[in-house]
Amino acid sequence: MELFKKTLSPVAAMAIIAVLNIFLFQIVGAWTVGGGETMMTGLIAQMFLGDSLSRIPFWNVAFPPDPGYWKIYISLGMLFGAVVGAVLSKEFNWHMPHRLSEWVMITIGGLLMGIGIRLAFVCNVSTFYGLTPEMNLGGYLATSGILAGAWVGTWIYKKSLEG
C-alpha cells in the first residue's frame, strides 16, 4: 500500500486530521491530549496508592480518576495508530538516546511538560487544535506562552549543541 511506502505530506495529513477534528468537536469535543494524560496519571497513581489517593485534594476535587474518560482513548488510539503505521512501513525499531545529556534534557523536558499542562489546564494540542480555533481567550494566552517557551527552549537547545 502506497501509504506505507512513502512519507505523506504533513499538510495533507494535518488537513485530514483537522476535518476529522471538526466532527469530533461536534460529537464529544475537540482533539486534546493533556486531559487524557492527566487522567492516566491519576489511574496509575491509584494503582500504587489505592484509596489513599483521594486524600490528595487534586485527585478528589479537580480530577477524580475515571477509566471511562474519553480523552484517555485518544492517546491510546494515537499509540495504536503509530504502531500500525510504523510496523506496516517497516519503521518500527527499538532505539534510545545514547548520551547522558540527552536523557537529562528529555527528563527535564518531560517534567516541564507535565507541570505546564496541569498549571494551564491545556496542552499544545488543545491550544492549536481546540482553544485557538474556537477563538477562546485562553488560546491566545496559551499560544503566546508556548511561542515564548519554545523560543527559550530553542535557545537552551542551541546552547547545549554549541557546548
Partner 1 sequence: MNVIAQCLIAFVFGSVAGLLVQRSRYCNVAALRDAMLFKTYRNTKALLIAMMILTMGFTAFITVGAGKPLYFDVGLNTFIGLFLFGIGMVLAGACTVSTWVKAGEGNVGAIWALLFTFIGMFLFSLLWSFTYWPPAPNTMTGDFNLAGLQLGFANAATLQEKTKIPAVVFGAVQTLVLYGLYRAILRRERAGAGADTQADSESAACNAWADNDKAVPQGAARVTAEQST
Quick check: 30 and 135 in contact, CB under 8 A?
Answer: no
- Please state, in angstroms and rounded to a whole number, the distance separating the CA atoms of residues 136 and 43: 30
Shortest Cβ 126–partner 1 spacing (Å): 7
Shortest Cβ 109–partner 1 spacing (Å):
3
128 CB-near residues (< 8 Å, 6+ apart): 143
**50, 51, 90, 94: which one binds partner 1 (CB under 8 A):** 94
**Segment 60-89, which members bind partner 1 (CB under 8 A)?**
61-63, 68, 70-86, 89
Shortest reach from residue 88's CB to partner 1, in Å: 9
Q: Report the distance separating Cα 12 and Cα 29, nearest Å.
A: 22
Quote the least distance from Cβ 104 to partner 1, whole Å.
9
For residues 5 and 22, what is the distance between their CA atoms, to the nearest angstrom? 28
The binder of partner 1 chosen from 46, 50, 52, 58 (CB under 8 A):
58
Beta-carbon-side half-sphere exposure of residue 80 (alpha carbons within 13 Å): 6
Nearer to partner 1, 50 or 124 (CB): 124
Instruction: State which of positions 15-54 bind partner 1 (CB under 8 A).
Output: 15-22, 24-34, 37-38, 40-42, 44-45
Q: Are 141 and 122 in contact (CB under 8 A)?
A: no
129 and 18 Cβ atoms separated by less than 8 Å: yes
Which residues in the 116-155 window bind partner 1 by CB under 8 A?
116-138, 141-154
Residue number with CB closer to partner 1 (51 or 115): 115
Contacts with partner 1 by CB under 8 A: the residue count is 125
How many Cβ atoms are within 10 Å of 135's Cβ, its own excluded?
A: 8
